């Protein structure tokens, strides 16, 4: 189960209409241990390096998230974003991180969140699965 850490600029970019969770093409890409996440300074996909190389079941740029949802829960005044879990089939992949971003703009593709697996995870000619937390990719609560 993966818990996402939000990039610092995500909320501002969503409120400024740079990110539309419902209608934009939101993708998740995999990164090696060479990637160093920084929630404060990284804003766009082009700011990043260390993506898993193309081939062996992985395509650079990652895959598009499907069945994305935004849910408001009045019981705790929270908003949750979620999507289906992701599987790269018959893949030989070694990755330490996953990065969720908005692929809709032709340039300046805003970052949303990253997931640290805690150590490098690998698959060899097998499924590489990214399973989001049961309560969603991210949850925001207001007082």
> What's the pLDDT tens digit per position in 33-54?
999 999 999 999 999 999 999 9
Q: Is the pLDDT of residue 134 over 70?
A: yes
Tokens 């089939």 belong to which residue? 89
Please tell me the distance from the alpha carbon of residue 132 to that of residue 1, in angstroms, as a whole number. 5
Contacts of 137 (CB under 8 A, 6+ apart): 4, 80, 81, 82, 83, 100, 113
- Which three-class secondary structure state does DSSP give residue 1? coil
pLDDT tens column, 79-128: 999 999 999 999 999 999 999 999 999 999 999 999 999 999 999 999 99
pTM here?
A: 0.95
Question: Per residue in 81-91, pLDDT tens?
Answer: 999 999 999 99
Burial of 8 (C-beta count, 10 Å sphere; 0-12/13-18/19+): middle
Residue 21 CA to residue 23 CA, distance in Å, equals: 6
Q: What is the pLDDT of residue 46?
A: 95
The confidence score (pLDDT) of residue 109 equals 97
Residues in CB range of 38: below 8 A, 6 or more apart = none
What's the confidence (pLDDT) of residue 142?
79
> pLDDT at position 2, please?
67
């Amino acid at each position: 189960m993966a818990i996402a850490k939000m990039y610092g600029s995500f909320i501002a970019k969503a409120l400024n209409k740079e990110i539309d969770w419902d209608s934009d093409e939101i993708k998740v890409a995999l990164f090696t241990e060479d990637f160093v996440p920084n929630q404060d300074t990284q804003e766009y996909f082009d700011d990043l390096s260390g993506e898993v190389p193309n081939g062996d079941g992985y395509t650079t740029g990652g895959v598009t998230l499907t069945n994305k949802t935004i849910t408001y829960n009045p019981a705790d005044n929270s908003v949750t974003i979620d999507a289906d879990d992701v599987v790269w089939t018959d893949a030989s992949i070694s990755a330490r991180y996953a990065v969720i971003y908005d692929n809709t703009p032709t340039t300046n593709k805003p970052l949303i969140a990253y997931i640290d697996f805690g150590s490098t995870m690998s698959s060899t000619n097998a499924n590489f699965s990214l399973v989001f937390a049961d309560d969603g990719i991210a949850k925001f609560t207001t007082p």
